[in-house]
Amino acid sequence: MANIIKLLPDHVANQIAAGEVVQRPASVVKELLENAIDAEATSIKLIVKDAGKTLIQVIDNGKGMSDIDARLCFDRHATSKIQNADDLFNLHTKGFRGEALASIAAIAHVELKTKTEDAEIGTHLTIEGSKVISQEVAVVPKGTTLSVKNLFFNIPARRNFLKSNPVETRHIIDEFHRVSLAHPQVAFKMIHNGSDVFDLPVSNIRQRIVNIFGKKTDEKLVPVSEETEIVKVSGFVLKPEFAKKSRGEQFFFVNDRFIKSPYLNHAVVSAFEGLTKEGTYPGYFLFLEVPPQSIDINIHPTKTEIKFDDEHSIYAMLRATIKHSLGQFSVAPVLDFNKDSSFDTPYEYSKKTPVVPTIEVDRSFNPFKEGNSSKGAKVSYKKDNTTAWESLYVGLKDETSLVDQDTITGMQVESEEVTGHLFTEEKTHTGQVTFQIQNKYIVSSVKSGMMVIHQHLAHQRILYEELLKNMTVQEAISQQLLFPVEVSFSKPKVELLATVKEQLEHTGFVFSSWEEETLGISGIPAGVKESNVGIILEQMLNDLENEVPEAGFSQNDLLAKSLAKSMAIKTGTAMQKEEQEHLIHQLFACKEPSVSPDNRPVLVVLNANDLDKKFM
């Protein structure tokens, strides 16, 4: 038989390698930024267009390349960073595989301009799909500019597989965070579609964190610092009360390289034990320094995982150090059984005789009567074709009325009496029997037996359909706030928010001011509590970042799902009979009443036969 094995041509081998190195635009960003760091640049600029799908450009003022190196750097296994296998165990650079540029050049249009310190003129080289198109001399400043255009132009499957621009941008920003946090002594700038996203001057690490994540971060930071023979730890953890529902700000750096380590993460989380609410994740920026020969970075192709020689000791040390820091900055709850500060009386009141509070209950108060408004929130309707049931719903969902009522019952006024007046009989009585169990399920009788409805999921379904309608065909009514609420997010989050601003406005949000990190909100969707606005938007941003719209589903869908989830009546909320009935009516007006937006069942029906069996 004839021999059949052939060596793959270089450009094919490079394309295959690219599959490992370049998963998405953010991978290119990481490689280019790291190369600039390795070239000892003190100032690095990242320019991105269309989430990196059209252009990724990194401009550095590092040591540059000679014209020969400029050509060589695109060959596979071409690296200036290691010379033999032993060097692998004493790495002081980010790169060492010599694969990145070869891979990138195989799947994009690449342009390189570079000049070394002592060369008079530099080099300008273009290369497309591994093929050198031109190399010319060029007048350029010292340093390197690498532009990557039309990523995956020759691998359509890969290109089509890319996620939406907000998602890809998020990944790019993540990489940018990781590299710029590890190198505060380098100035960084990021520009996306022509506007500045980050402008980070040379600074210390604390300032770098604040410049990236916003001014308010400063007061949340607790310094961490410890040194032993095997590891030196420095950096910050976020105070426990700022732990988030998503793993946002969790960063480990080992010898200035960002790494992921579930094991060390566990050490940190366990140091926070008992201090954070369940389901929240503490934030941290931790820098570990270990002797280079005690780690192996080579176990993962994109190098975010590493192996430590003495992982257990590092775990124990990290945990103890963080506990110590949290204690030292007295962020652990201090329990003083002798004294409760809430009993302290301000001096000017200490001599006065207490006045018995009086309470007035307006028994004819009806929140559904036009003209009534709740605490600083005036309900206004953008559309005049609002039907009566909608206004009924607005009031029902407005939890401020429930809160008021709680206060009243707390004062031992019989709640029945109050509710009796809140809802006039003739308006709501439908003759159907419903009741709530465990503040979680609504039970209603149906012809064939009984139906149990999950209140939270049912409300999610209702809101989801309503929100989708608002975003696409009919703008929602908006609750105008007397005083705009201010919410603050980091710059990239505000950027992300901008991409869905219009949809949000359709659902009832009115933005009265829009700055880099702070937004003023003067209108919110009906039924949303003023105090929840920040949380709802935060949750939505997290969902937008983390959840990728399923194929065929739009961003609107994702947005509606997320908002519905955080706006829906929570499990554990007591509901009035009329609210229960109203929820059922609305649910059955939905297109798909039986499943939640996430495809969970909303209701179960127990028919008489099922019941009969129980009594046999």
Nearer to ligand ADP, 36 or 212 (CB): 36
Nearer to Mg ion, 179 or 510 (CB): 179
- Binds 111: which of ligand ADP, Mg ion, none (CB < 5-8 Å by kind): none
Residue 600 CA to residue 585 CA, distance in Å, equals 20
Nearer to Mg ion, 35 or 321 (CB): 35
Residue 241 CA to residue 255 CA, distance in Å, equals 29
Instruction: Output the CA torsion 167→172→174→178 (10° steps).
Output: 170
- Binds 444: which of Mg ion, ligand ADP, none (CB < 5-8 Å by kind): none
Please report whether residue 79 would count as binding Mg ion according to CB under 5 A.
Answer: no
Nearer to ligand ADP, 102 or 222 (CB): 102
- Binds 62: which of ligand ADP, Mg ion, none (CB < 5-8 Å by kind): ligand ADP
Residue from 100, 167, 394, 584 binding Mg ion (CB under 5 A): 100
- Binds 494: which of Mg ion, ligand ADP, none (CB < 5-8 Å by kind): none
Residue of this chain nearest to ligand ADP (CB atom): 95
Look up residue 177 and give its two tokens: 């965070």
- Binds 98: which of Mg ion, ligand ADP, none (CB < 5-8 Å by kind): ligand ADP
Q: How many CA atoms lie within 13 A of 594 on its CB side?
A: 3
Nearer to ligand ADP, 14 or 455 (CB): 14
- Binds 529: which of Mg ion, ligand ADP, none (CB < 5-8 Å by kind): none
Nearer to ligand ADP, 99 or 249 (CB): 99
Nearer to ligand ADP, 100 or 476 (CB): 100
Look up residue 316 and give its two tokens: 């124990």
Q: How far is CA 345 from CA 339, 342, 358, in A?
A: 12, 8, 21
CB of 34 to Mg ion, least distance (A): 5
- Binds 36: which of Mg ion, ligand ADP, none (CB < 5-8 Å by kind): ligand ADP
The answer to whether the CB of 308 falls within 8 A of the CB of 294 is yes
Give me the phi and psi of 142, to 5 degrees please: -60, 135
Residue from 25, 95, 122, 508 binding Mg ion (CB under 5 A): 95
Helices (H), 278-376: 311-328
Nearer to ligand ADP, 17 or 541 (CB): 17
Cα angle value 571/577/582 (rounded, 5°):
80
CB of 20 to Mg ion, least distance (A): 14
Please report whether residue 392 would count as binding Mg ion according to CB under 5 A.
Answer: no
CB of 228 to ligand ADP, least distance (A): 31
Chain position carrying tokens 């009969």: 612
370: left (phi over 0), alpha (psi -120 to 50) or beta: beta
Cα angle value 317/320/322 (rounded, 5°):
105
Residues near ligand ADP (CB under 6 A) are 31, 35-36, 39, 60, 62-65, 73, 78-81, 95-102, 144
Nearer to ligand ADP, 96 or 368 (CB): 96
Please report whether residue 103 would count as binding Mg ion according to CB under 5 A.
Answer: no
Nearer to Mg ion, 18 or 269 (CB): 18
Residue of this chain nearest to Mg ion (CB atom): 95
Burial category of 94 from C-beta neighbours within 10 Å (exposed 0-12, middle 13-18, buried 19 and up): buried
Please report whether residue 35 would count as binding Mg ion according to CB under 5 A.
Answer: yes
CB of 258 to ligand ADP, least distance (A): 16
DSSP string spanning 450-519? EEEEEHHHHHHHHHHHHHHHHHHTSPPPEEEEEEEEEEE--HHHHHHHHTTHHHHHHHT-EEEEE-SSEE
Residue 286 parent element (H or E) = strand 284-289
Residue 272 CA to residue 275 CA, distance in Å, equals 5
CB of 97 to ligand ADP, least distance (A): 4
Q: Find all residues with CB under 8 Å of 536, minimum gap 6, and list them.
A: 528, 563, 566, 567
Chain position carrying tokens 């695109």: 74
Candidates 30-38, 183-191, 370-378, 576-584 — which segment interacts with Mg ion by CB under 5 A? 30-38
CB of 516 to Mg ion, least distance (A): 32
> Cα-atom radius of gyration of the chain, to the nearest Å?
30
CB of 105 to ligand ADP, least distance (A): 9
Is residue 554 helix, strand or coil? coil
CB of 46 to Mg ion, least distance (A): 15
Closest CA to 15 of 109, 106, 101, 131: 106
Q: How many residues touch Mg ion (CB under 5 A)?
A: 3
CB of 76 to ligand ADP, least distance (A): 8
Q: List contacts with Mg ion (CB under 5 A).
A: 35, 95, 100
